[in-house]
Amino acid sequence: QVNTERVEVESRGVNHVEGGWPKDINPQEMEQTVRFRKKVEKDENYINTITHLGTLMEHCVKQNNAINIYEEYFGEEEMAELDDEPPSAKTINVIRDPNLTKRTATHLSWHPDTYKKLAVAYSSLEFQQNMKDMSFDSYIWDLENPNKPELVLKPTSPLVSLEYNPKDSHVLLGGCYNGQMAYWDTRRGGLPLEVSAVEVSHRDPVYGAIWLQSKTGMECFSASTDGQVLWWDIRKLSEPTETLVLDITRKGLLENALGAVALEFEPTMPTKFMVGTEQGIVVACNRKAKTPPEKITSTYSGHHGPVYALARNPFYPKIFLTVGDWTARIWSEETKESPIMRTKYHLSYLTDGCWSTVRPGVFFTTRSDGILDVWDFLFKQKDPSLSLKV
């Protein structure tokens, strides 16, 4: 690691006309330009500037000749066969909550186009904790400058979920700790453009908020531990467009509803979605069913506690991963009785999980003791291929 100076980069535009000649000189006229040049070259100011810039330039050129940053030191060595290498990973960046009182990073959302930016929702999920000096802010980070957030989002209540709009990367959707929904346009600063009214929002923290595939790109839905799934159009957050109560007895009673802690939506299956609940049951739903009870199509029960993560495999969407209690389980949509695979029981709780977007057999899980596991079940099934202490 080399102690190079940190350079802050920013883009600026300059309107440049050929050569930057004064108004009264026509750059096409050879005679005029030559005369002007001679006049300038005699100017004292010009001579001083050039000699000053010359020494600076010379220093840079010498520096460049001394250090070739593109030099290949080990060009002649043959590349070792990659197959023999044990899996490895390294930390590229650490992004810290800038506040004195540290909070949980409850949700991450990658910028849909560049993958250089990360929107992070921060909140404390501990019930009735002292909120006196606790900040409500969430942030958008630029990974190339992890010292300072690119934008500070200022919700009315701390954000539990936060998602970039896949159709318009300037727009973000947030679900708050108090159950409200809000949305931002990063071009218009850190304050939400609109927030849903408390009386029509969720009554518990919004653990899942996802954008739908729609022509307008303005529609989304949310799920909360209050047992409801609500659909919204962000242009009109005065009330949800649709409601579903997660009552698996199919009576639609809120007191029987299962609390949602994970929400899954695969854009290639626009009418289907899945909800992971506090009770360890995964509920598969079909939005386009005629009556509310028919909207709950099937349930998968296997976890002893809340389902903290729920994700379809990007390559085989009928296969999905759930993470809860001490295990991660892989299910096939057709087999409701039991998972087709599960990891061993760990000694600590599993807190989250997701699939690799480039390799169908790879998934990641995180544990409460600060370990990130990378599983590759084409490589081995009983243990993770790689465990990293974070």
In angstroms and rounded to an integer, the radius of gyration of the C-alpha atoms of the chain is: 28
pLDDT, position 66 = 80
Vertex 281 angle, CA 279 and 245, to 5°: 80
pLDDT, position 84 = 66
Q: List Cβ neighbours of 1 (8 Å cut-off, separation of 6 or more).
A: none
pLDDT, position 24 = 82
pLDDT, position 364 = 92
Task: Tell me the C-alpha distance between 76 and 229, whole Å.
Answer: 60
Vertex 190 angle, CA 184 and 196, to 5°: 40
State pTM to two decimals.
0.71
pLDDT, position 128 = 61
Beta strands at 206-211 and 171-176: parallel, antiparallel or unpaired: unpaired
Q: Which amino acid is at 300?
A: Y
Contact at 8 Å (CB) between 190 and 152? yes
pLDDT tens-digit profile, the chain (390 residues): 566 777 788 888 877 666 677 778 887 888 888 888 888 888 899 889 989 999 999 988 888 788 777 777 776 665 555 566 788 888 888 888 888 777 888 899 888 887 788 999 888 877 666 566 778 888 988 888 888 888 898 888 888 999 998 888 888 989 988 888 888 888 888 888 888 888 888 888 898 888 888 888 888 889 898 888 888 888 888 888 888 888 777 776 777 788 888 888 888 888 888 888 888 888 888 888 887 777 888 888 878 888 888 898 888 888 899 998 888 888 888 888 788 888 888 888 888 899 988 888 899 999 988 888 898 888 888 888 888 888
pLDDT, position 249 = 79
3-state secondary structure of 280: coil
Task: Tell me the C-alpha distance between 211 and 123, whole Å.
Answer: 21
pLDDT, position 54 = 92
pLDDT, position 1 = 55
CATH superfamily of 104-389: YVTN repeat-like/Quinoprotein amine dehydrogenase (2.130.10.10)
pLDDT, position 132 = 67
Contact at 8 Å (CB) between 299 and 248? yes
Name beta bridge partners: 64. Answer: none
3-state secondary structure of 279: coil
Q: Report residue 55: phi and psi, to 5°.
A: -65, -40
User: What is the DSSP secondary structure assignment for residue 100, as one 8-state letter?
Assistant: S
Contact at 8 Å (CB) between 133 and 186? no
Q: List Cβ neighbours of 269 (8 Å cut-off, separation of 6 or more).
A: 317
Q: Report residue 61: phi and psi, to 5°.
A: -65, -45
Q: Report residue 96: phi and psi, to 5°.
A: -105, 150
Show the tokens assigned to 361: 């057999």
Helical packing angle, 30-42 and 44-66, nearest 10°: 90
Q: Quick one: which of 200, 95, 197 has its CA closest to 145?
A: 95
Domain boundaries, the chain: 104-389
User: What is the DSSP secondary structure assignment for residue 236, as one 8-state letter?
Assistant: B
Show the tokens assigned to 65: 């000749």
